[in-house]
Structure 1
Amino acid sequence: MQTVPAVQQWKDRDGRGPGVPGPWVPASRPRVVVAARDAPLLGELAALLSGELAGERARERAGEVARERAGEAGPAAPARFQAPAGPAQPGDIELRLEPLVDAGLTAGQLAEAYRLTAGPVLTITAPAVAGLYYGTRTLLQLLRSGTAPTGTITDWPAFEQRGVMVDVGRKYFSPEWLKRLIENMGWLKLNHLHLHLNDNVGVGLECTSHPEIVSEKHLSYGDLDGILAVAAAHHVTVVPEFDTPSHAAAILARRPELAITDRHGTVEKDKLNVANAAARTLAADVVLEWADRFPGPYFHLGGDEFFAAPWEPAGHQDPLRYPGLAAWARAETGNPGSTAVDGYTLYLNQLSALLRSAGKRARVWNDHVHPGARGVPLDPDVDVECWIRWNAGFPGASDFHRAGHRLVNRNGDHLYFVLSSDSVPPTTGRKSAEGVYELWRPRLFMGAAGGLLDDELDASVPVAGAVMSIWCDYPDALTEAEVADQTLDWFRSLSQQLWGSPKPCGTFAEFSTLFPAVGTAPR
């Protein structure tokens, strides 16, 4: 049986080779053992695995009780975590923090790599705790599918960032739903959860510096702390996003004086006037407050859809549309030729500098990043998340790379699960779990909006990873339970593509036959 994602290397998986011990046979009450020196770092993981093994045995016992009533074998005792008390014994599971000898991996790969070795004792070895955690996921999936671990598995990810985004600005997702999402992400070796915390509909997280902007139904900081604790246990980095200067209608409904005005005197009710010092102060307050609540290294500044798309009216695309923003840019730079785009970029650069002082790295959507154009360049330390290329006249992923930006693939033609008013997300085609498995690849960026000319980067261009997005354009189109059910297969396809191991099956239809045995994360 296979795991999801499949492992990179499995030697002597089908039986004994020279010098290779036979399959590991778990004891009736297997212990999870760690060395005394590793106990401070591994105690929590050992306890988690022990509890999960007990839960898995409880699942099995339900079937065993039925067989016992029919005259077959009775139930076995559950597993338990035991603090180290001497060497591991046959049937035990041992977790060891040690270098992987002769693995030939990069430093980034080693951060999440592991080796699982079968024998009298089942040993999982890794240089870091994250790798050991992923080794336990593989073990549990093998046990659940009825496969006795044999030989040696050596496993590592091809891409550092393997993520999911949830639009909690437009749709309230309960803390329990988000925690279960994180457990299933860890089960599939996905490691980044991006929370889109605000949009035109609302602001979905508590904010003490500006409580007036927060939606009535939102996640509290207490909710967030619980979510972050589950994320830490499952090695998921949570990335917050405060999306400005566009998508700000919910904020401006409470602070209308901060809206931008175009050259005709029309107030744009969804765009923040970042030429206004009070608007910049509000944004800085929220960014720094939220950055302090999230332990991860990243903060998303949004930045999408502020200027007009190519199909919007010509008047909207006029470079003089926002004269106040251009005037602020001229005052800031001293350059009489500065434009509104320069003002937009200055705003993002200022927030990026604030985040850097707080020990965070900023990232933005790629919409209005124009490498090589005259004027103010975006800080190259800002990660660019590539979801759209409006047409061939706009820069592509390789242009952002040449400008020094780290790339994250957010391909809007493949990785967007959208709650729409007129249809449910498809099950076939480009935007589907099938499409992610069969048509998309981690280096395949969008080539042009609505077209089929994808832009695939070669291996010489570093790509940090990819994130699929759950967008709630129409929040009531699906319940949160329906979202969980319909996105699970997407996660499975995404995990296989980003882990980068040899595909276990040629088609998604074949791949999906593995899902019932692998199931979802233990509770």
Structure 2
Amino acid sequence: MLEEKIKNLFPTFDKEHELIIRKEIEGYKIFESRIEAHSERLAFYALIDAAQGVKEVEQKEILTERGVHVDMGRKYFSKKWFYKLIEMMARKKLNRLQIHISENEGFRLKLPGYESLCSNQALSYQDMQDIIQYASKYYIEVIPSFDTPGHLKHILKSYPQYRLKNSESALDITNPKARLFIKGLLSSVMDCFKDSKVVHIGGDEFIPFDQYEFYPDLETYAKSEIDKDATGSDVYIDYINDIGKFVMQYNKIPRIWNDGMYRLDQKSHVSLNADIQITYWTSWHEGMAPLHSFITHNHDVLNFMDENLYFVLGECAGYSYPNVDKMQNNFNPYRFPNRHKNTDSSREQWIEINHKQYLGSYFSIWCDDPKQ
């Protein structure tokens, strides 16, 4: 069976190997025509090496997650396209595919009961099941990414009653019915991705995080429902905790982007649930928290470093396309995004090799200009 999978990825490879699964070894070993591996998945990785001419090697898996993130919310990608991506990922031993299904510009997965939300081009429920199954064939887990409470402009056009005052794309997180609506939609997402252990719930760019004063309803709600000294940022954290708890009820782990949490320019009265994992992508604003804030608060972290790991269609927001030379010369999986230039300490952010809270790194495809 493993040899057949490798044949699909490397059609000219025809050498047979003796395969032995040994739980007492950590990774895998190749000795000419003999492969010993801790698991079937690692034996598959060993065969990938063998198919590329490796005759003798001993490997251990250091990072748990080696992933690719695809922004399908803004731009439609076909099932066939995802199949090709999955095969490419398998050849490189990547093991996570995060699919971003919703954005301000679109919603591209036909979920039962929410078909009316979909853009003209969208994957069917069965399409996504097929993608998940095909990825599983190559030991790749598919993770759903559904952004909330920001990046909801497309959805809020159909549900304007749930829109935050003074915003086109933000959810009114003070409205219990709005929260229930998102939970219902998330429930359908999680039913579709039932085998995924993780759900990315977004959390980024809800509003400009240094401008809560322009959203007075958040402040009013905070003082009424949370604490007399609470502020709008506490309502935001409370919402993320609420949605995170809902996700955990499905025995899944919630993840969020880093830019709105533990801000240096805000004092919070609500603590972010430490079980929520952090995908750290940027520190472009001086108020954004450094990496060590999340480590200190016991969050698991993943490296989505925008400077070297973002492929942004149209090269929007100042991004230039990454290339082989840039990646090889500048990227290190243990180096996170630089701190803002106004920081009074070193700008570089690193995490120790084998740090128990560091799960891995992702390359992201963002479709800011979907016509590209």
Contact 2:170 2:207 in 1 (8 A): no
CA distance in 1, matches of 2:117, 2:142: 22
CA deviation profile, 1:9-43 (whole Å, cap 9, x unmatched): xxxxxxxxxxxxxxxxxxxxxxxxxxxxxxxxxxx
Q: CA deviation at 1:331?
A: 4.2
CA deviation profile, 1:143-165 (whole Å, cap 9, x unmatched): xxxx6x2xx42112321111111
Contact 1:196 1:242 in 2 (8 A): yes
Among 471, 486, 493, which residue is 2:366 paired with?
Answer: 471
Contact 2:263 2:287 in 1 (8 A): no
Correspondence 1:365 to 2:281: no
Alignment of 1:403-482 (within 5 A): 403-420=297-314, 426=320, 431-449=322-340, 453-459=347-353, 461=355, 462-477=357-372
Contact 2:2 2:44 in 1 (8 A): yes
Contact 1:165 1:195 in 2 (8 A): yes
Contact 2:17 2:34 in 1 (8 A): yes
Q: CA deviation at 1:391?
A: 3.6
Larger Rg: 1
Contact 1:210 1:282 in 2 (8 A): no
- The amino acid across from 1:468 in the alignment is F
CA distance in 1, matches of 2:255, 2:320: 29
Which sections of structure 2, spanning at least 5 residues, go unmatched? Answer: none
CA distance in 2, matches of 1:466, 1:421: 21
Correspondence 1:141 to 2:52: yes
Correspondence 1:325 to 2:222: no
Instruction: Give the equivalent residue in structure 2 for 1:124.
Output: 35
Q: CA deviation at 1:187?
A: 0.5
Alignment of 1:21-60 (within 5 A): 44-49=1-6, 55-56=11-12
Instruction: Give the equivalent residue in structure 1 for 2:98.
Output: 194
* Secondary structure at the counterpart of residue 142 of structure 2: strand
Shift in CA distance, 45/238, structure 1 to aligned 2, threshold 3 Å: same
CA deviation profile, 1:416-436 (whole Å, cap 9, x unmatched): 111016799756xxx433222
Contact 2:100 2:144 in 1 (8 A): yes
Contact 1:98 1:127 in 2 (8 A): yes
* Secondary structure at the counterpart of residue 194 of structure 1: strand
Shift in CA distance, 326/208, structure 1 to aligned 2, threshold 3 Å: farther
Structure 1 runs (4+) deviating above 4 angstroms are: 50-53, 421-427, 449-452
Q: CA deviation at 1:189?
A: 0.8
Instruction: Give the equivalent residue in structure 2 for 1:298.
Output: 198
- The amino acid across from 1:376 in the alignment is V
Shift in CA distance, 382/475, structure 1 to aligned 2, threshold 3 Å: same
- The amino acid across from 2:256 in the alignment is V
Shift in CA distance, 281/171, structure 1 to aligned 2, threshold 3 Å: same
Shift in CA distance, 162/460, structure 1 to aligned 2, threshold 3 Å: closer
Instruction: Give the equivalent residue in structure 1 for 2:135.
Output: 231
Q: CA deviation at 1:254?
A: 1.1
Among 149, 174, 177, which residue is 1:275 paired with?
Answer: 174
CA distance in 1, matches of 2:171, 2:77: 26
Instruction: Give the equivalent residue in structure 1 for 2:28.
Output: 114
Contact 1:204 1:219 in 2 (8 A): yes
Instruction: Give the equivalent residue in structure 2 for 1:25.
Output: none
Instruction: Give the equivalent residue in structure 2 for 1:182.
Output: 86
Among 167, 186, 196, which residue is 1:287 paired with?
Answer: 186
Shift in CA distance, 453/249, structure 1 to aligned 2, threshold 3 Å: same
CA distance in 1, matches of 2:118, 2:110: 6
Q: Please tell me the root mean square deviation across aligned C-alpha atoms, in Å.
A: 2.4
- The amino acid across from 1:322 in the alignment is Y
Shift in CA distance, 131/403, structure 1 to aligned 2, threshold 3 Å: same
Instruction: Give the equivalent residue in structure 2 for 1:255.
Output: 159
CA distance in 2, matches of 1:367, 1:307: 11
Shift in CA distance, 337/170, structure 1 to aligned 2, threshold 3 Å: same
Which sections of structure 1, spanning at least 5 residues, go unmatched? Answer: 1-43, 58-78, 80-90, 102-109, 310-316, 478-523
* Secondary structure at the counterpart of residue 169 of structure 2: strand
Alignment of 1:88-99 (within 5 A): 92-99=16-23
CA distance in 2, matches of 1:201, 1:162: 28
Shift in CA distance, 210/339, structure 1 to aligned 2, threshold 3 Å: farther
Contact 1:170 1:199 in 2 (8 A): yes
CA distance in 2, matches of 1:331, 1:246: 23
Contact 1:371 1:403 in 2 (8 A): no
Shift in CA distance, 192/51, structure 1 to aligned 2, threshold 3 Å: closer
* Secondary structure at the counterpart of residue 257 of structure 1: helix
> Which moved further from structure 2: 175-184 or 417-426?
417-426
Shift in CA distance, 422/280, structure 1 to aligned 2, threshold 3 Å: closer
Instruction: Give the equivalent residue in structure 1 for 2:108.
Output: 204
Alignment of 1:153-168 (within 5 A): 153-168=57-72
- The amino acid across from 2:241 in the alignment is N
TM-score with structure 1 setting the length: 0.65
CA distance in 1, matches of 2:8, 2:152: 44
- The amino acid across from 1:184 in the alignment is M
- The amino acid across from 1:465 in the alignment is G
* Secondary structure at the counterpart of residue 219 of structure 1: coil
* Secondary structure at the counterpart of residue 320 of structure 1: helix
Q: CA deviation at 1:45?
A: 2.6
Shift in CA distance, 231/245, structure 1 to aligned 2, threshold 3 Å: same
Contact 2:234 2:268 in 1 (8 A): no
